[in-house]
Amino acid sequence: MSEVRMEYEEERILVPQVSDFLDLDRQFRQLMFLYEAAIGQMEARLEILNKEFQFSNDRNPIEDIKSRIKSKESIMNKLSKKGLPMTVSAMTHNILDIAGIRVVCPFISDVYQVARMILRQKDVELLMIKDYIRDPKENGYRSLHLIVQVEVPFSEQTRKVPVEIQIRTIAMNFWASTEHQLRYKKERQFTEEMQQQLKYCADIMAEADMKMQEIAGEFNTEQW
């Protein structure tokens, strides 16, 4: 798996350092406000790019933009799996995908084009890349994940907050959304056979993505 990490000093990390002895619910609400503000910053930048392409280009590489904040339950489960304490400090230092944005594109080449445009944005710092398109997960999942750190201005100071940006094609998004629905459907057990069938579907969709890319124009795999 292709992965790039950027080192950054602890004192520059994203959120106010508050005491873990304060009420956790109160801290969590304060923290979520920071992540929501960071998502607002990144969504605004992406919407500007989206509007620019709509008015000044023959084709728009952005099909859809959605955002989400991880639920408290999801964050706690992730901390538990990592064997970490249920504290705000543990959240902010170890979970970088609390704030998430998903960008859906028509073609594979669009995924990398949008990624480059994001990383050229002022005050957006790359922390990590996970390229699951070049190196898919074992279950067939494909997407390009960027962890970026965005500056969010507040009344007294600017905070640096991490945001995960998932960029994928329409086909990749369809597979991921359907796989999630099937995997977590409460009234049925997710079996190994189902997983194999879904992997087969993922491979078919990946082949279709490449064929559509060929029709649209040659994709230079060295451009990223």
List the CATH number of the domain containing 114: 3.30.460.10
Determine, yes or no, domain membership for 134: yes
Could you tell me the pLDDT band of residue 135, with boundaries at 50, 70 and 90?
very high
For residue 55, tell me if it sits in a domain: yes
Half-sphere exposure of residue 56, counting CA atoms within 13 Å on the CB side?
6
Q: What's the token pair of residue 203?
A: 């491979």
Torsion angle in degrees (nearest 10) through CA of 147, 149, 152, 156: 140
Decide: 151 and 42 in contact? Cβ < 8 Å. no
182 domain-assigned: no
Residue that is written with structure tokens 């056979």 in the block: 193
CA-CA distance, 46 to 55, in Å (whole number)? 14
Residue 148 lies in a domain: yes
Q: Which domain holds residue 102?
A: 21-170
Stretch among 30-34, 66-70, 184-188 having the lowest mean pLDDT: 184-188
- What are 37-67's pLDDT values in tens digits? 999 999 999 999 998 888 877 789 999 999 9
Residue 81, in any domain of the structure:
yes
- Tokens 């064997």: give the residue: 83
Which residues of the chain form beta strands (DSSP E)? 2-5, 64-69, 99-105, 124-131, 144-153, 158-169
- Count of domains for the chain: 1
Q: Is 179 a domain residue?
A: no
